Structures are given as structure tokens and as C-alpha cells.
Amino acid sequence: MKYGRTFNFSAGPAMMPESVLEEIRDEMMNYRGSGMCVMEMSHRSKVFQQIADEAEADLRKLMNIPDNYKVLFIQGGATLQFSMIPMNLMKNGKAVYIDTGAWSKKAIKEAQKVGEVIVAASSKDKNYTYVPDLIITDLMMPRMDGYELCQAVKQSEMLDHIPVIIVTAKATQEDKLRGLQMGVDAYLYKPFNAEELTLRVENLLERTRQLREKYRQAVADNVADASEALAPRDRAFIQRLDEMIYENMGGGDVSVDNISLALRMTPQQLRRKLITISGETPNSYTRTLQIKRAYELLETQATTPISQIARLCGFYDMSHFSKIFKQVTGISPSQYRKKE
């Protein structure tokens, strides 16, 4: 580093690449030929609006934000925003929140100072380690109807594996087709009794469980294209995850953090979703694919040094690779090659 800078890995503002800082420095006096510093220009100018538009586009891409969600740029830190959001948006004096952990708890606390807060869902009882197994929603709701809620869930890669049941009095063919397009898993028509609701829920959860169990058994039996046993959305996620892991093996970084970043998820979100679908943690799942790749390379590349095969599988410590391989197969990589 030519500037003798300090490495700062704080949770808040942290170090940035020197190339980025140099670009900021160069544009400080004259941002992209505008003749002004960003801090000097009007917030209503075309140049500033372009900055805001680019920032929003980047956020939508990075965080996979659906088009039917707004992106708000609000002054201040997170705690101040927790106050400003209900002050500006809680127009009827009520708001629905989902309690997902430390930050949402702070948001709920601030919103309660402004109006009535309804906590629609929480996983606090198990230290925020799970998401709902199923969502039941009425079709007719203020601001966002059941179809829009379902669409938001199915557009979120963190939530799209969760079945959605819509409760409604509307039973036209047009309504059913719209629901299917949105990804509704089942309808429950009014009036209904508690026993009918219980049976619908149990049947839907059992159907989902059976598909996932069939997939897990196919994986255990080394069946090719095991993911074909899954529901379409689960299958698409597993296939994308596999692609990301194999792609990152070549670069040598198959850490959960790196894979999560590539999928635009947090490590915790990836862990919850993957355990729900496959029964495996991200580390265990990644290790399985690494050893699977090692099998293939040992069988097809007889002259390639085992140390190189280890690197191609994302292992840079030969002894660690040998240890993991032996734990899975009962023999060393060299013994496996001779066997083949």
C-alpha cells in the first residue's frame, strides 16, 4: 500500500479499496465534468438525480429488491431511520412488523412510540433461527392484497420456498389463474371450518416434505439430477447454488460468506433456506460437492497431481484435503485413484 494506511475492519464505516478512494479524490473538485463537487450541487439537479438512480439500481441488483418495493434514501443512521419510517408512513396509526432479530426489535420499539404496532410473525422463541413453514393470508387486505403478498414472497429467494395459502370468498376462474401466476400454492374458500383449514395445511406441508425427502434420498443414493425431485422453485435454487459453488472452487474461495454474497443472501439466510430444503448446512453441502468434484477429477485425470486436483476442488491445504477425503470415503485420494 503506497499510502501507509491502517486496515480497519469495523462493523460500521470500514476500509475501502485505494482505487475507489482515488476516484473519489479525483471527482471531489469536479464530479464527472459537472464543474461542481457533489456536496455543492442541487439535490434536484439532473447530475444528482443520476447519482440517486444509479445507487437505487445498484441496491436493487445487490439485494434483489422486487420492482413493487420502494427504495428510500433517508438521512441519519439506522436507529434514526427506525423513527423516521413510521413518522412518515404510519398514516393510519397502525403498522405491521415482522420480528427477525436485533434490528427489527429496535425498529418495533421506535414505531411503538408513533402508533400501534402489530407483530405479524416472529422466530424469537427459537432465537431467530427459522422462517415460517407456511403462510396463510386473506385475499382482501388494505394496501397490499393476498396476491401481492404472495408475489413478494415468491420473488424473494430467501422466502420463495415457503408455501402460501390464500383465504378468499372469490372463486372465479380468473381469480384462480391470477393466483397461479403469482405462485399461490392453495386456496381456502369461505366459509370454512377449523378442521378443513387444519387438513389443508397438513396436506400441503406433507406434500412439500415428501418432495424434499425424495430429493435427500436421491442425493444419498448419488442419483444424477437429484434436484429434479424438488418443486420448481426449490430446484432452481439448488441448481443456482451448485453453479455458484462449482464456479468458486476454481477461484479457491468456497466459504459460506463468499457463496452467500454471490447469492445476495446473508450466511444466516442461506443456512436457514438450505437446511429447510436439503437438511444440510452450507458447510456440509459445499464439502459434499467438493468431494464429488474430487471423485470426477481423480477418475478422469490420471496424470494430474493430486495437489492440483485439491486446488481445483477449492482446497489449498493438501493435508486438509486428504483428511476430509478420507473421512468421506475411508481411503486417501491416492488410494482412491489406484482403486479406479
Q: For residue 111, is pLDDT > 90?
A: yes
What confidence tens digit (pLDDT) does each residue in 118-148 have? 887 788 888 887 777 888 888 887 667 888 8
Query: Which residues, 6+ apart, have CB-to-CB distance to 332 below 8 Å?
Result: 322, 325, 326
Pairing of strands 164-168, 186-189: parallel
- pLDDT score of 171: 67
Q: How far is CA 191 from CA 53, 135, 194, in A?
A: 47, 19, 10
Residue 242 scores a pLDDT above 60: yes
Whether a cis peptide bond, with omega within 30° of 0, leads into 191 is: yes
Beta bridge partners of residue 178, listed in sequence order: none
Give per-residue pLDDT as tens, 192-220. Answer: 888 888 888 898 889 888 888 888 888 87
Give me the sign of the Cα torsion angle 151, 154, 155, 159: positive
Q: pLDDT tens for residues 243-289? A: 999 988 877 688 898 898 888 888 888 888 898 888 889 999 999 89
**Dist. CA 280–CA 254, nearest whole Å:** 16
Mean pLDDT (the chain) is 85
pLDDT score of 55 = 93
The torsion defined by the Cα of 51, 55, 61 and 64, in degrees rounded to 10, comes to: -140
Residue 91, amino acid: K
Strand ranges, E, within the chain: 94-99, 116-122, 135-138, 164-168, 186-189
Q: In the prediction, which pLDDT does 112 show?
A: 94
- The model's pLDDT over 10-37, given as tens digits with 9 standing for 90+, comes to 766 778 888 888 888 888 889 888 898 8
Residues of the chain above pLDDT 70, percent: 97
- pTM attached to this predicted model: 0.62
- Tens of pLDDT along 64-85? 788 888 888 877 777 888 998 8
What is the DSSP secondary structure assignment for residue 252, as one 8-state letter? T
Q: What is the pLDDT of residue 141?
A: 76
Say which residue, 149 or 242, is predicted with more confidence: 242
Using the 8-state DSSP alphabet, how is residue 5 labeled? P
Residue 1 has pLDDT above 60, yes or no: no
Per-residue pLDDT, averaged over 299-323, amounts to: 89
